[in-house]
Structure 1
Amino acid sequence: MRLKNRENFSRLRLIFYRILNENKTVYQLYKDLVISGLVPADDFWSKYVDFDKLTESTKKQNTGVSGAFLTNIRPESGDSGGIIYKLNADTIMSIFRTYPAIREKYEQNVHTGGMNEADFWRTFFQSHYFTMDRMHSSHHRDLFADCVKQDDEKMHNEAERASRTAMAVIAPETNDTSEIGYGVNESASDTTGKNDLNKNLIKRFNFHSTMILKSTLGTDTNYETSSASRVEPDDDEDISKKFKSGDNLEDLRTEQQEETQTLKLVNPDRYLRAPTIDRSQKISVQQIPTNFNNLKQEMANWHVNTELTLNSGLAHKIVKDLTPGGALMHGTTAQTLSQIVPQNIQEEMQTIYVSLSELLRHFWSSFPPSSPLIEEKIHRVHETIERFRETQVNAFKEKVSTDLLTDFHLAGHMEDLIDTANVKYNQWVKTVSSTGRT
């Protein structure tokens, strides 16, 4: 992970600082490996830390649009008697994603400098486009007068696309009212001027729901503002050619039971009786005395083999020694080790083990050395391990040398690991010295 940009470096430095503060294990590894000069900082962050996983919360996540986001826009009375609408960034993005025509007007007027943002939203809330009836306005100064027409065209395209769906409940060629649910077919029902308000309200609700569903298909950045030039994919055309309304679909067929053939038995008595007894294995009366005499002879010649058994006294002593508090269980109780050792000691021991394991991994992976750089690394890692023993392992050993924990030798295994590495290092140094190399 190379940091080439100063801005990226500043941003990542804050992330690294947060990671080191929140994760004690990573912080300890950083001190033991990076500060000691064993591992470069870039290699440490790319190898020892799952950077993508730790920083995934900082990535921008696309959220959905609430179906009731307009209800959160509540007007308040201003000081001058007017009405004030308070909008946040999430509400504005929801409006743009649900009503593309408003986004287009915003880009045409605010981005070009024709009006400021406050005037734009004030005009929007005062327009007929925002009112519940959504009636077409004849006012020539209404900025959003043509938005209703764009919505009607888009909704009409959605209705036509839905009518071409192969699995439509009512096909358009068989029923003239297939588009009644969309409220865009004037000839779908006998409407009068009294229910125009209801029809426009239904159209508004249907368009609102449709655009919220479509907003989940992609992000805002990929959205084309021009609704007239947008081409909707007709994925259902090929399916419409394959299936028709009168087709008999396999999934809708009634399951038919397989025909089975009746079993015809010539002699049914064989299936109504239990198996016959094999009388060939039955012992005859004449063989009973002979078998009884053989059993008596075997019992008379049987002897107990006690060579591999223990006497009761020795068994009792062993059980007593292995009982908690016995001679062989000195310093232990019925509690487990995790219950005896305090939690802070366990966490510190785990941290030391992680750092020591990384140092030893670097040490053992350098053998056999294939270049002078690796030989130099062996010397450097060995010095780091010895310094780690003095500063970490010995300090931890003194900390746990209490009457309660001294019998467990918690630092003994770590010392054995370091001693084994020292033996290997001394053997390697002796081998190098015997060859005349330094």
Structure 2
Amino acid sequence: MAASSEEVLLVTNQVRHAKKDGTLYLMAERLAWQEENKDIFNVSHHYADIKQQKISPEGSSKVQLQIVLHNGSSSKFHFANRDGPAVQKKERTDIKELMQQLLPRFRSMANKELEQKNRMLQENPELFQLYKDLVISGVMSAEEFWASRKPVLESQPSVSSKTQTTGVSAAFLSDIKPQTDGCNGVKYNLTADIIESIFRIYPAVKKKHAENVPNNMTEKEFWTRFFQSQYFHRDRINAGSQDLFTECAKHDEKDLQEETMDFIKDPLLNVEGLSDQTLGEGYGCTLDKTNPSSSNAINSSIIKRFNHHNTRVLSVSQSKSSSLLPNNVPSTTSTSNSNTNSNNHKTQPRDNENGEPKAKRVRLKESISYADLAPSTSGTPVTLKLERTEGYYHGPTPISAFEYSSAEEVMGAMHRVHEETVATKTKAFQALSSSMAGAVMNELTPGGALMGASMHQPLHAVYSKEIQHDLKRLYTSLAELLRHFWSCFPVSSKAVEEKLMRMKGTLEQYQTKKLQPFKDSLAKQHIGPNLTIHIEELLETAYNKYSAWQAKKMGMSRR
């Protein structure tokens, strides 16, 4: 088997792809399909490249699973077990549920790798320009571009040692838009992110899922009953006793009451006293304390559900931050996962004999104290301590004495140098005169009469900066492509051969999309084609190597 060195999680036989029979493998890092009587995988998709999976609708004649990738492509697998549709659906369900567990894990890895690539492009402008010239223009694929830089990506440190968890939208349930199936029914498409959000917001649903799936019901049956339940449709007044999620509703009501009692109350705010009554008690009117009507009860129920939902959304992020607090700092966020947490929140720390909560004292102190009116607390002035004070009581120290030469000694040295200079005799009998030597130098300097045929000007003085920049980009792009091309030699495997043929086509696209437009722009500016001669020689050398390899391959096949 081709995957003998990999960890295989699930193997399903009698799976068709492109009308061919084969075997579907779920491995630790990828999904692969192998045709019968073959030793290589015809289809291989890494989990990080998979966007979502789709199944064929109920009542379809074929039991199919479609894998959709991030680049828009997809692969369909037809389960054709000879034991019948029931076994086919079971095999598809096993693969689908296992992939639901694997995809979120690799999705986070893909996001981390994407952040590293974006950081590399931002920190290296030349690499970003090369990426635009090759990948965005369609000359080569992004996978080939990053394949040679994989060691650099792995060696780079992560963006931050503290991973930031994504919050949950308050409208994540309303964003699930059902689709009609044409038979007075609706269909919900649940992704792994939506299921994770439901579990994070409603721990009671997660508990029910763990208790019933897969022992009492399948994954599909559980979520069907969830969306059909009174719990999902928010009808908490007349919840049916036979509903699976009735206990969840009661659990939420209990949690809401505990959260209301456990949260620290602001002593300066009386939420319960908010009303439209403008006169206080004892001024000829009393508050209406009659029993609320049914409409008011419904409104009250809706407000309760909104408050509980918002509390759960906030607790998702607060529970993460509370773990970073020191052990001696009390956390006021209540959780609904255990009863012990609620008991701990009921006893807030008290720091005086009156039993007044510490948080209340802090809140009162903040309301009556102002930083601008606080007395200035100046610290003790710093005293200057000098270890050696003698340097502060004296003037500049005199310079140490040196040995100086007298005037007679200096004049005697000058006379000796003059006598030696006069006594020196030159032997340049064939030397040119100064006027003739100056004329010869003028003729041999650039611009002279003798230098007209071999005068070379620097590149920056002949061509504009735009042409120099474009030429540099062409050389950089070509160097990247040729590096991939020449790395394919010697051709040792089928994969290397496919890459070689692909890089040959990539070089041709480079010559058509990049080099030829640059030559056309030079022609419009009446500039000769000598700038691109070296680039064309490099391409011609690569083409000759490919032609020689192809001819050798054809000769070996004829034998």
- Fold equivalence (TM over 0.5): no
Higher strand share: 2
Q: With CA pairs under 8 Å and 6+ residues apart, which has the higher RCO, 1 or 2?
A: 1
- Report the TM-score, using the length of structure 2 for normalisation: 0.36
Normalised to the residue count of structure 1, the TM-score between the two structures is 0.44
Structure with a larger share of its residues in helix = 1
